[in-house]
Structure 1
């Protein structure tokens, strides 16, 4: 169904009184967005952090009268109110709207991540002799992971350049399953995808079936995980959990095996690399668009 959307920029003011007034005026839903470009990357557990400048968006029934809404708002919260901007929104599958700009993307020399049914134009494919493109058909659903973020791109590029033949892999924090599926399509023998989010488990299973690797990919929540050490552990999460999970992730890697860590800002990478140096011989840090990847080989024993 269509909606009437009201948008207001509250800046650094507490948005809660505005939210209460909007609900009192009949808002069906309210969302808060970053009004500038100030991402909150690692909130503390149990907190609900906000940006320095906040945009409030409220949805009303399509036939709601903006004049009546404004009068109701002023009666509940006299003001001052920021400018109110009303717009009619046609009905669309909003949770998937951002996917309209998702196009085939290449990582490394041969690995392509493609929305279902799409393939890159012939002229954009690599022409290296004896190089067969590897296509992954992806629908992230509501889970994280399409390859568009620099941290995912860093991990995919590493996979494209690695010898994965007959390797076993864990994708820790699998999201859409993109890394585990890429590893399997590039030659890995088996993979395990784990995540704290049940939606990620569903998306990973769906994408595994879409790419004909479901029989090689097990998926579970972190709480359900039971596994032996593997050849490669991939963890594209965030710096704080990577620091906390150091010994846990190290124990999942066989001696001589590889760990690939991302989800890191460039200025966080050195600290994470130093922490994991207790268990791994760390390679030079890779950086892309202000984000970083740390990878290394498992030592026979920890320092």
Structure 2
């Protein structure tokens, strides 16, 4: 009888490297926020409502290598990628006249032609903006956390989030939404069904309520960031002075920090489960992900996100106080 053979353990395959991407929380002159409804056939975030954004492209500039410390920090390549993707996906161009004027105006027909050409790689976004007499408004992007997909998910991203305030006054484009006098913003449109079926501005409160009623799918990062901003944008207060005050409060908030003292611009979040409570997963937001282990960077310790994952996507999403939730989970565990 042959001697027993030692058990062999299959090596766990390495988790996929997160792809660099960036997204924009685009705020209209009414202080409403833009979400895009992704097609149900999408390979990521199918049927969900998301901020405009996507993967970086070589046309955005040199993309930091996986081993580079610049891979997971705000930089010009992330900013250009965010603005390019916003234009491709919604038709809204975040660029100013090169001569120092207001927002760059582009005729509808040329804008739609350029969206298709840039998406297909036939034309380079930055060169087209320059040809139109403009300059990309990258400096106006305000960094607002980075999210790294957990290793349990097969398609991973390292996503830099930004806030952009469309000016409260200034020239707009042909297809316009008049807001508060002479302030204009182009009407957002879908990309023709390539990746999105709708592009709509609504208040943070309206979007959050639709998500809570499970009328739309919103993933934890989008829900959490909108929940944070929604506290500053009160509906029914649409005067120019009040709109400006709301924006200034958001800017001051972004300069500050959360429960662990890390500035919002520097927070890195890779949600990991703390456990289950009342049938929903409780996600810790203070973990930066394995790529940044030992870097000293962190997420946010003051809140957790509670969510029920289903085949169709995340449902019953809500933000909870971290200390209170851990107390409730501890009490529930003690009763078992």
TM range (shorter): under 0.3
TM normalised by structure 2 equals 0.24
TM normalised by structure 1 equals 0.25
